[in-house]
């Protein structure tokens, strides 16, 4: 991959990768760090990465770096960040409810949802990024949506 | 398609995921129409999708992640403009340097240059008479009449008087030990002293009368 294609990938995907990590970690600063680390690794492997697969490569690398970050955060951060304890704001709308419900999901379920809804990846592409089979992707996606559905349903009952 | 209540969630999920065919979709919608208790589930499944808009938030990383391509020097347009400019600058400087008058061998005048009449000095020098060289030693004198260049080594008191028909006055070199006389007009006296070794033994003469009784 040439420098021009690398710059093109920066223009095309850096915000997408950063948004994916931001939604996955719910930490904007960490998302920026991981995005920069992802592109640093892309630069180091610029000769090995094919531009046609660079988007999947970027998301895969960002996802793995995010998992590493989650593991580190679990070691050092207390449990006050658990989604069940998140305080709900008064002016709630559907987007915020969904964002809250995303924190209820496991990392893999959240990743599947983000890749499917934000990036529009197919099951096969998500499976390549997350190293899962398409059937596994479908199962994770089903469970994730079911959790979100139940969270929304419970919230409506409360309201 | 025979729809069972246990499969309804999977079917609704597939419906929203777009995994069902048109026939399956219509059958599912008919089933929900027949059993309205599933309508709520159907709506909640529809809301389980993350609402996205086409605009992507700008995280401000683009300028940090872009890599400036470094072109080789021969591909830069300024190279082709800069090289002739440098060459022209070098040529103009060299012309300016070599066109300045060379003052290296010009004499340094203590007086203003206009007050010195070089032609007058030369004409006066021509009035000097023919050279007479006298070298007087203790008991011998010798005249040097040769006009060929000679190197005189002055060992004792040497008096040189030379007058030739030379036309150019050279620098006075008589202060040194070697004097080059070559069609020059010199009239001076050189005195130098050199230690000499005496080769005789000292013995008393016959008329010497010792007065010391112990002698």
Q: What is the CATH number of the domain that holds A128?
A: 1.10.10.10
Q: Say yes or no for a CB contact (<8 Å) between B9 and A146.
A: yes
Residue in B10, B51, B58 nearest the CB of A95: B51
Average confidence (pLDDT) over B80-91: 87
Q: What is the separation of C-alpha A117 from the centre of its chain, rounded to a whole number of angstroms?
A: 10
The least confident of A91-100, B8-17, B125-134 is B125-134
Task: Name the nearest CA neighbour of A1 among A60, A54, A57, A51.
Answer: A51
Q: Say yes or no for a CB contact (<8 Å) between B48 and A94.
A: no
The least confident of A50-54, B70-74, B132-136, B163-167 is B163-167
Where is the domain boundary, A27, A53, A77?
A77
The least confident of A125-134, B11-20, B115-124, B182-191 is B182-191
**Which parts of chain A sit beneath pLDDT 50?**
82-91
Candidates A2, A3, A14, A100: best to mutate against B (most CBs of B within 10 A) is A14
Instruction: Give the residue numbers in A contacting B (CB under 8 Å), as ranges.
Output: 3-4, 6-7, 10-11, 14-16, 18-19, 22, 28, 31-32, 35-36, 39, 43, 94-95, 98, 102, 113-114, 117-118, 141-142, 145-146, 148-150, 152-153
For residue B89, what pLDDT is reported? 93
For residue B162, what pLDDT is reported? 47
Based on the fold, state whether residues A1 and A72 are members of the same structural domain.
yes
For residue B210, what pLDDT is reported? 62
Task: Name the nearest CA neighbour of A148 among A111, A107, A108, A113.
Answer: A113
Q: How far is CA A65 from CA A25, A41, A50, B9, B38, in A?
A: 11, 11, 20, 34, 41
Question: Helix (H, G, I), strand (E, B), or coil: what is residue B134?
Answer: strand
Q: Say yes or no for a CB contact (<8 Å) between B64 and A36.
A: yes
pLDDT at B173 over 50: no
The least confident of A16-20, A24-28, B48-52, B72-76 is B72-76
How far is Cα B152 from Cα B169, in angstroms, rounded to an integer? 19
Average confidence (pLDDT) over B132-146: 53
For residue B188, what pLDDT is reported? 47
- In the A/B pair of chains, how many CB contacts fall below 8 A? 81
For residue A159, what pLDDT is reported? 57
Give, as one character, the DSSP assignment of residue B108.
P
Give, as one character, the DSSP assignment of residue A105.
S
Question: How does residue B117 score in pLDDT terms, banded at 50, 70 and 90?
Answer: low
Q: Say yes or no for a CB contact (<8 Å) between A149 and B48.
A: yes
Q: What is the extent of the structural domain holding A156?
A: 86-159
Domains of chain B, by residue range, sit at 5-46, 127-190
Average confidence (pLDDT) over B106-119: 67
Candidates B60, B62, B65: best to mutate against A (most CBs of A within 10 A) is B65
Write the CB contacts of A105 (distance below 8 Å, at least 6 apart in sequence): A113, A144, A147, A148
B69 to chain A: which residues are within 8 Å by CB? 3-4, 7
Question: How does residue B7 score in pLDDT terms, banded at 50, 70 and 90?
Answer: confident
Residue in B17, B45, B65 nearest the CB of A149: B45
Question: How does residue B209 score in pLDDT terms, banded at 50, 70 and 90?
Answer: low
Question: How does residue B44 score in pLDDT terms, banded at 50, 70 and 90?
Answer: confident
pLDDT at B90 over 90: yes
A150 to chain B: which residues are within 8 Å by CB? 44
The least confident of B94-103, B125-134, B179-188 is B179-188
Q: Say yes or no for a CB contact (<8 Å) between A117 and B65.
A: no
DSSP B39-76: HHHHHHHHTTSPP--S-----S-HHHH-------GGG-
The whole-chain average pLDDT of chain B stands at 67
Q: Say yes or no for a CB contact (<8 Å) between A15 and B59.
A: yes
The enclosing H or E element of A146 equals helix A134-158
Task: Name the nearest CA neighbour of B19 among A112, A138, A148, A143.
Answer: A138
Domain count, chain A: 2
Task: Name the nearest CA neighbour of B144 among B153, B132, B154, B129.
Answer: B132
- In degrees, rounded to 5, the angle at the alpha carbon of residue A135 between the alpha carbons of residues A133 and A136 is 65
Where is the domain boundary, A77, A95, A130?
A77
Where is the domain boundary, A77, A108, A135?
A77
The CATH number of whichever domain residue A57 belongs to comes to 1.10.1740.10
Average confidence (pLDDT) over B138-165: 49
Instruction: Give the residue numbers in B contacting A (CB under 8 Å), as ranges.
Output: 9-10, 13, 16-17, 40-41, 44-45, 47-52, 56-59, 61-62, 64-67, 69
For residue B32, what pLDDT is reported? 85
Looking up tokens 């093109």 gives: A8
**Dihedral sign of CA atoms B172, B176, B181, B185 in order:** positive
Q: Say yes or no for a CB contact (<8 Å) between B56 and A35.
A: no
pLDDT (tens digit per residue) in B195-205:
555 555 556 66
Highest mean pLDDT among B72-76, B129-133, B174-178: B72-76
Based on the fold, state whether residues A7 and A72 are members of the same structural domain.
yes
Based on the fold, state whether residues A146 and A127 are members of the same structural domain.
yes
Q: Say yes or no for a CB contact (<8 Å) between B50 and A98.
A: yes
For residue A61, what pLDDT is reported? 92
Question: Helix (H, G, I), strand (E, B), or coil: what is residue B102?
Answer: coil
The alpha carbon torsion through B169, B174, B178, B179 (nearest 10 deg) reads 40
């Amino acid at each position: 991959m040439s420098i021009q294609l690398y710059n093109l990938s920066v223009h095309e995907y850096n915000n997408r990768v950063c948004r994916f990590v931001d939604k996955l970690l719910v930490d904007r600063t960490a998302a920026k760090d991981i995005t920069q680390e992802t592109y640093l690794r892309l630069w180091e492997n610029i000769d090995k990465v094919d531009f046609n697969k660079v988007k999947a490569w970027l998301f895969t690398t960002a996802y793995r770096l995010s998992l590493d970050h989650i593991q580190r955060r679990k070691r050092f951060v207390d449990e006050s960040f658990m989604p069940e304890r998140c305080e709900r704001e008064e002016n709630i709308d559907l987007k915020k409810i969904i964002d809250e419900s995303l924190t209820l999901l496991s990392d893999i379920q959240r990743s599947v949802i983000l890749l499917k809804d934000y990036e529009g990846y197919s099951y096969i592409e998500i499976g390549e990024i997350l190293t899962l089979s398409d059937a596994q992707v479908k199962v994770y996606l089903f469970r994730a949506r079911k959790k979100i559905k139940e969270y929304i349903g419970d919230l409506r009952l409360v309201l | 398609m025979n729809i069972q209540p246990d499969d309804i969630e999977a079917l609704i999920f597939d419906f929203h995921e777009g995994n069902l065919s048109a026939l399956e979709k219509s059958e599912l919608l008919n089933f929900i129409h027949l059993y309205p208790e599933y309508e709520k589930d159907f709506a909640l499944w529809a809301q389980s999708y993350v609402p996205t808009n086409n605009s992507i938030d700008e995280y401000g990383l683009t300028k940090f992640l872009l890599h400036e391509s470094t072109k080789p020097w021969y591909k830069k347009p300024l190279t082709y403009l800069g090289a002739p400019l440098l060459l022209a600058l070098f040529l103009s400087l060299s012309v300016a340097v070599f066109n300045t008058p060379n003052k290296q061998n010009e004499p340094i005048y203590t007086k203003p240059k206009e007050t010195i009449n070089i032609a007058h000095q030369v004409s006066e020098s021509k009035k000097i008479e023919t050279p007479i060289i006298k070298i007087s030693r203790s008991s011998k004198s010798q005249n040097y009449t040769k006009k060929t260049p000679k190197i005189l080594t002055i060992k004792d008191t040497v008096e040189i008087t030379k007058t030739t028909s030379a036309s150019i006055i050279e620098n006075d070199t008589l202060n040194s030990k070697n004097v080059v006389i070559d069609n020059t007009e010199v009239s001076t006296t050189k005195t130098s002293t050199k230690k000499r070794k005496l080769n005789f033994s000292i013995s008393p003469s016959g008329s010497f009368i010792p007065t010391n009784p112990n002698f």
